[in-house]
Structure 1
Amino acid sequence: MERVLVAGATGYLGRYVVKALKQQGYHVKVLVRSQDKLNQEGAYSSPSIYDFVDDIVIGDVTRSQTIKGVCLDVDFVFSSVGITKQKDKLTFMDVDFYGNLNLLREAERSKVQRFMYINVHGADECPSTLIKAKQRFVNELKHSSIHHIIINPTGYYSDITEFLTMARKGRVFLFGNGSNKMNPIHGADLANVCVSAFAKENSILEVGGADVYTYREMAELAFKVVSQKEKITTIPEWLVKTSLPFLRIINKKQYNLFLFLFYMMTHDVVAKSHGKVDLKSYFESVNEKGGNNV
């Protein structure tokens, strides 16, 4: 039985990956900062995973001394570690680059066979330090002695839930004219792609979901699901660009997250289609539960 270490196990994608790995016969070891969340359902209806975990290691990838030996007796490593909405003082370089680099060095010391990393599709030219940190780690991984598998998803359904949240409040805001396209993917569908990809070596996969939508179409779908009259406000790109320097002064981390979001919404982000969960069904399931974080 092959053994996989999952870092980022309590995140949206990580939960689905843990479940998929266990269901496909892997021995699953998770690296978490606290095991309290393992027995709870995650955000956006992602599953509780305690019953799918074989080994639990408590550690923090940004503190290398806490993960010594974490990759012993491990065949593969999966990492979706990265800052999303953390409120601590850690930077993107601290987590997305150095945190993953600490984990990679442990994997190298233990002679792990493969290291899978979740990056982002279509954001190579994005000036956000979030993307720069991720790309810097990707470069390290490519030059590692370990076989790399880099997964570049277009976007998660969990991220697109923000359209549903705005629609419930009565108005959806879009950057640009809303005509740019994306095919986001459900966590369960992306997890299946990831688990299947462990058979590959030194590979990069561009992964999108079942259907392609414009951002305006996603907004319209959200209004339809919540049975609200459509109210969509488009914010001109020039206005956003004018405002960005002020946000950078106020809050640099939020500035870089916002810059990434703005970039993605004003570019086409479409990759090869995978999976079968459609966005309408996902919106309906979340709406029935009455929240975006359940």
Structure 2
Amino acid sequence: MILLAGAAGTLGGAVARALKREDLKFIAIDVNADKLKTIEGLAEKTAVCDMSKKESLSGILKGVKTVISTVGLQRESENVTYMDVDYQGNKNLLDEAKAQGAEQFIYVSALATKEDAPRKVHQAKWLMECALRDSGMNYTIFRPSGFMTDYIWYFGKEMKSKDTFEILGTGEMKVQPIHIDDLGTCIAKAVENKKAYNKAFPVGGPEQMTLNQILEFYQEFFNRNVHIVRTPLEEAEKRGMPKDFLLRMKTDSVCDITDVKNTFGLKFRSLKDCVKEVDWSKV
């Protein structure tokens, strides 16, 4: 049996669908009871669980061989931090998995995660990666560069409907977003896959583009002349943009995907192809 944590999130849902396609039975847990109902037909069982509280995990992992965690905080608040969720919540899950005899832990981290990472989210994820490596369990780590959903449902929607689009920085930052279903398929194919044991996979889409190139593509695709406003990061910081987010805009988010493609035998979809598949009349 597999346990999927964070199952009600966007990535969690993609993993749930991929597990179903692979005919793999799983238990789905999430802190959001309402959203969890949307995948009830895919999972063998669902359970509301707050991983920040160890007692919430009691009994849930009995008989589970593989644990998958897509759990991560999108943005910190006064009450909840990356350390609370990305590290401690996942660490609680890891501890319970070990106690119950699970054999594999698949964890979704992020591309820039490393020991000396400047962003707090990556610092928290690094601690979780270290805990996994020290756990004695078979682990598989995925470090996605970013998801196409941001570049389709925000960039695309704005470029289709607005006359002005604001971008932070010069626009020369390079990105390599992956389709969320492609990552979901990778994760499902990593289950009990010895080729994926004790490895960390950088993962992204098949093309690297600057933000300016993405905007140029949308201008041509929609045949629109949208005015692009490039706001310096220093000015954005003065306006109150979170510093942790602005740090993200200072570094390219690209990677070599040779290893992940060879291991799982997949062909990833490009952003341009995915944009062309959208029914924009309904957006």
2:274 is matched with: 282
Q: Post-superposition, which runs of at least 4 consecutive aligned residues in structure 1 deviate over 6 A?
A: none
Give runs of aligned pairs for residues 166-185 of structure 1, distance below 5 A: 166-167=158-159, 168-185=161-178
User: Are the aligned partners of 1:181 and 1:215 in contact in 2 as well (CA < 8 Å)?
Assistant: yes
Question: What secondary structure is seen at the aligned counterpart in 2 of 1:211?
Answer: coil
**SS of aligned partner of 1:62:** coil
In structure 1, C-alpha distance between the alignment counterparts of 2:279 and 2:166, rounded to whole Å: 19
Once residues 70 and 2 of structure 2 are traced to their aligned partners in structure 1, the CA distance between those partners, rounded to angstroms, is 13
In the alignment, structure 1 segments of 5+ residues that lack a partner are: 41-48, 249-253
- 1:84-95 maps to which residues of 2 (within 5 A)? 84-85=74-75, 89-95=79-85
Picking from 169, 179, 182, the partner of 1:186 is 179
C-alpha contact (below 8 Å) 1:220/1:230 kept by paired residues: no
2:8 corresponds to: 10
Q: Distance in 1 between matches of 2:220 and 2:234?
A: 31
Report the alpha carbon displacement of residue 6 of structure 1 after superposing the two structures with TM: 0.5
Runs of 5+ unmatched residues, structure 2: 262-266
Match of 1:156 among 147, 152, 164: 147
TM-score norm. by structure 2 comes to: 0.85
Q: Which amino acid aligns with 1:255?
A: K
SS at match of 1:194: helix
Which residue identity is paired with 2:124?
A
Q: 1:7 touches 1:78 (CA, 8 Å); kept in 2? A: yes
Distance 2:281 2:64 in 1: 38
Report the secondary structure of 2:149's partner residue.
helix
Cα deviations across residues 101-150 of structure 1 (Å, max 9, x unaligned)? 11111111011111011111135354121111111111111111211111
**What letter is aligned with 1:127?**
P
Matched, 1:75 2:65: yes
TM-superposed deviation, 1:62: 1.2
Distance change >3 Å, CA 147–CA 262, structure 1 → 2: same
Q: Report what 2:55 is aligned to.
A: 65
Q: What pairs up with 1:205-284 in 2 under 5 angstroms?
A: 205-236=201-232, 240-241=233-234, 244=237, 247=240, 254-256=242-244, 258-263=245-250, 266-272=251-257, 275-284=267-276
Q: Which moved more, 1:162-171 or 1:10-19?
A: 162-171
Question: Is the CA contact 1:206–1:272 (under 8 Å) kept in the aligned structure 2?
Answer: yes
Cα deviation, residue 232, structure 1: 2.0
Match of 1:130 among 121, 124, 127: 121
Matched residue, 2:264: none
The partner residue of 1:141 within 132, 135, 147 is: 132
Partner SS state of residue 149, structure 1: strand
Q: Does 2:103 align with 1:113?
A: yes
String of CA shifts for 1:160-188, please: whole Å, max 9, x gaps. Answer: 23322432323333343323322210011
Cα distance in 2 between the residues matched to 1:126 and 1:231:
34
SS at match of 1:144: coil
Partners of 2:278 and 2:75 lie apart in 1 by 20
| Identity in percent | 26
Question: Per-residue deviation at 1:34?
Answer: 3.6
CA pair 243-170 structure 1, distance change in 2 beyond 3 A: closer
Partner residue of 1:45?
none
Conserved? CA contact 2:90–2:128, under 8 Å:
yes
Determine if contact 1:182/1:270 at 8 Å carries over to the other structure: no
Partner Cα distance (1:38, 1:87) in 2: 23
Opposite residue 125 of structure 2, the aligned amino acid is K
In structure 2, what is the Cα distance between the partners aligned to 1:55 and 1:289? 37
Q: Which aligned pairs between 1:33-48 and structure 2 lie closer than 5 A?
A: 33-40=31-38
RMSD: 2.4
Matched to 1:282, the amino acid is: C
CA offset digits 1:236-277 (Å, max 9, x no partner): 4xxx246537738xxxxx432x234323xx425233165432
Count of matched residue positions in the alignment of Structure 1 and Structure 2: 270
In the alignment, the residues of structure 1 paired with residue 88 and residue 21 of structure 2 have an alpha-carbon distance, to the nearest angstrom, of 31
